[in-house]
Amino acid sequence: MIKQANLSLVYVLFFVVSAHTQEMGQLVSMEYQDKPLKFVLNDITSTYGVNFTYSSSVVPVYRKVSFAVEEAPLGNALDQLFEENSLTHAEIGDQIVIKAKKQKRKAPPARITKLTKIETSLPSKVKQQTPLYSDPRQEELLARYYRQKYKNIAPIQGKELTSLPGGGERVIEWDSERINSMTEDIMTDEPFTRLAQVSILPYVGTNKLKSDEMTNNLSLNVFWGTNGGVDGVEVGGFVNSIRNDVKGVQVAGLGNSVGNDVTGTQVSGLFNTARGELEGAQVSGLFNYAGEAKAVQVSSLFNMSPKAFSGVQVSSLFNVSGEGDGVQVSGLINTNRGRARTQVAGLFNTAGDISGAQVSAIMNIAKDVKGFQFALINIADTITGAPIGLLNIIKNGYNRVELASSEALFTSFSLKLGAKAFYNIFHVGLRWDRTAFEDGLGQQQEEVLTSWGLGYGIGTAVTIGPRTLMNIEALATHINETEAWTTNLNLLTQLKILFDLRVGRRTSFFAGPSGNLMVSNLYDADTNTYGSNIMPYTLYETTQGETNTKVWVGFNAGVRF
């Protein structure tokens, strides 16, 4: 029994491997121009049945890819795609696991074996300049010493050195890494750390002209201060200006400006800026700016993080962010150039992809929406939830043109736009009635009177089978009865249940019942009655003052494209 089980397992593995080999050997042709890598992988999966496994935090799925092959084996095409985009992959079962290719480390510089005569004695002691130093490190003191002593020496890494004339026969063996480290220290502007500093204006304070080179644990700027960095707390009366990084808290009466990264919190009366990466929070009276952020930004006017953003942006006017997975709330406008989780705005939202919701008063625009949209106008390429609005334009959604007939309107045309979960209906219909009347000579005459209706509705489509679905629709139509335009109330409201059968790629037939409610203020002087006459019969009728209400059940049928 065990041998038979093992043999069966071998057969199964053989067929799986064989099928996968056939898949990878099939000839394919594909071309993509400036498409996100995620789109390319999804398209290959749906077209050729290849399954990919990857982490979006490791693989740059939103990188734009241009790639083309013609009549090539699928395996070779994938190898080319991954190689051109610095990716590596492995085939595990029926899955292709993708990850970013590790960057090769640069080879260390060649070891310097000979060096000209150079002073090698290190200072035994460096005099402390101010009591505000906090536990100075030996390497910092050495770096400062050599910066001053050898400030005009260029970096010697990678250069061939020979003895100077008159230099004697002395040759010194010295480790190249130590030489390069020393010369790098000489040439860099890495700031020192001090316990505290106090300044009145830029370069007018305890750090003097070295202010933009010093990192302070505690920084106090009476009016406006400029410093190299903050590793603790900085408070300024007007403006705090930092050349490098901030790790901690900045508080200013007007604004905080940081040249590189911020890890912590910035609070100001007017503005906060971080040109590098922000991790923490920015709160200001006017605006906040960060190159990229994983943070909370709150301002009274606007927030910007154009490169990448993850977190929350709240403002009264607008928010701007790049790729990320954040939440934006504004009084007017939110824009996101990559992926956003949720956007809520007073006027409109724009985004690449949405993984939650878009809510605004006027308009929402996105590409791939995994969630819902709510606005007067919603525009998207694809959506998994419902676009709820007066007009929904979904490129790959439920978009239909319909010709139909019913007992109320003998012929009608409808345009349906949106998604299966929710779509809009724009409707126009026509009917004609023969009416007998007596002319002035006592002769009976017949006249054809035309009525028409203009309506709007909403609906949802429920999939029943591969070729069948059920539509549930609510429709309101203003009936212009025997005249060009009826100014009185003459409203037909309908609830339809329609069953749809697709008979071709783009064609389907449908039919189903409808419940009809007609509310009318039309007055017939000949009969001294109120109400419409488009219904063939009534199940219920009542007149309250000048308003007539009639109820009946009807039938609808037609064709859709």
Q: Radius of gyration (Cα) for the chain, nearest Å?
A: 38
Q: Which two tokens stand for residue 519?
A: 């509310």
Q: Which CATH architecture has domain 400-560?
A: Beta Barrel (2.40)
- Residue whose token pair is 């928010």: 319
Q: Which region holds residue 515: left if phi is over 0, alpha if psi is between -120 and 50, else beta?
A: beta
Query: Of 346, 351, 348, 345, whose CA–CA distance to 370 is shortest?
Result: 351
Q: How far apart are CA 168 and CA 159, in angstroms?
A: 21
Averaged over 327-352, what is the pLDDT?
94
Q: Are 447 and 482 in contact (CB under 8 A)?
A: no
Whether pLDDT at 225 is above 70:
yes
Considering only residues 511 and 193, tell me which one the structure prediction assigns the higher pLDDT.
511
Q: How far apart are CA 66 and CA 75, in angstroms?
A: 18
At 516, which amino acid appears?
A: N
Q: Where in the chain is the domain with CATH 3.55.50.30?
A: 2-100
Length in residues, the chain: 561
Provide the β-strand partners of residue 206. none
3-state secondary structure (DSSP) of residue 22: helix
CA dihedral 371, 391, 500, 471 (to 10 degrees): 70
Phi, psi of 213 (to 5 degrees): -105, -10
Query: Of 53, 51, 47, whose CA–CA distance to 20 is shortest?
Result: 51
Q: How does the average pLDDT of the chain come out, rounded?
A: 82
Q: How far is CA 98 from the centre of its chain?
A: 23
Residue 416's alpha-carbon distances to 496, 516, 555, in angstroms, are: 14, 20, 19
pLDDT digits (tens, 9 = 90+) for 454-506: 999 999 999 999 999 999 999 999 999 989 999 999 999 999 999 999 998 88
Query: Of 358, 357, 354, 379, whose CA–CA distance to 369 is shortest?
Result: 354
> Which pLDDT band holds residue 141 (cuts at 50, 70, 90)?
low
Supply the pLDDT for residue 365. Answer: 96
Supply the pLDDT for residue 140. Answer: 57
User: Crossing angle of helices 74-84/37-48, nearest 10°?
Assistant: 170
Q: How far apart are CA 386 and CA 381, in angstroms?
A: 13
- Residue whose token pair is 């400006």: 257
Element (H, E) at 150: none
Q: How far apart are CA 358 and CA 375, in angstroms?
A: 8
Q: How far apart are CA 520 and CA 119, in angstroms?
A: 106
Domain covering 2-100 in this structure, CATH number: 3.55.50.30
- Residue whose token pair is 């009936």: 479
Q: How many CB atoms lie within 10 A of CB 90?
A: 10
> Which pLDDT band holds residue 264 (cuts at 50, 70, 90)?
very high
DSSP structure class, residue 502: E
Supply the pLDDT for residue 184. Answer: 45
Query: Of 513, 511, 474, 471, whose CA–CA distance to 494 is shortest?
Result: 474
Lowest mean pLDDT among 139-153, 216-230, 515-529: 139-153
Query: Of 149, 155, 154, whose CA–CA distance to 181 is shortest?
Result: 155
Q: Which two tokens stand for residue 455?
A: 């309506």
Most confidently modeled of 146-155, 202-211, 376-385? 376-385
Supply the pLDDT for residue 160. Answer: 45
- Residue whose token pair is 């509310």: 519
Most confidently modeled of 21-30, 92-101, 469-478? 469-478
Supply the pLDDT for residue 14. Answer: 39
286 Cβ contact list (under 8 Å, min separation 6): 270, 271, 299, 300, 301
Supply the pLDDT for residue 515. Answer: 97
Q: How far is CA 71 from the centre of its chain?
A: 35
pLDDT digits (tens, 9 = 90+) for 514-539: 999 999 999 988 888 999 999 999 99
pTM here is 0.65
Q: Which two tokens stand for residue 399?
A: 């978009």
Q: What is the DSSP string of 382-424?
A: EESS-EESSEEEETTS--EEEEEEESSSSEEEEEEEEETTEEE
CA dihedral sign of residues 40, 43, 44, 50: positive
3-state secondary structure (DSSP) of residue 127: coil
Whether pLDDT at 542 is above 80:
yes
Q: Where in the chain is the domain with CATH 2.40.160?
A: 400-560
Supply the pLDDT for residue 98. Answer: 85
pLDDT digits (tens, 9 = 90+) for 342-389: 999 999 999 999 999 999 999 999 999 999 999 999 999 999 999 999
The half-sphere exposure of 434 on its side-chain side, counting CA atoms within 13 A, is 4
Lowest mean pLDDT among 92-101, 195-204, 287-296, 476-485: 92-101
Whether pLDDT at 132 is above 70:
no
Phi, psi of 253 (to 5 degrees): -70, -35
Query: Of 477, 487, 482, 546, whose CA–CA distance to 516 is shortest?
Result: 477
Q: How far is CA 49 from the centre of its chain?
A: 27
pLDDT digits (tens, 9 = 90+) for 26-78: 788 888 888 888 888 888 887 877 888 877 767 887 788 888 888 888 888 88
Q: How far apart are CA 2 and CA 164, in angstroms?
A: 82
> Which pLDDT band holds residue 235 (cuts at 50, 70, 90)?
very high
Share of the chain above pLDDT 70, in %: 78
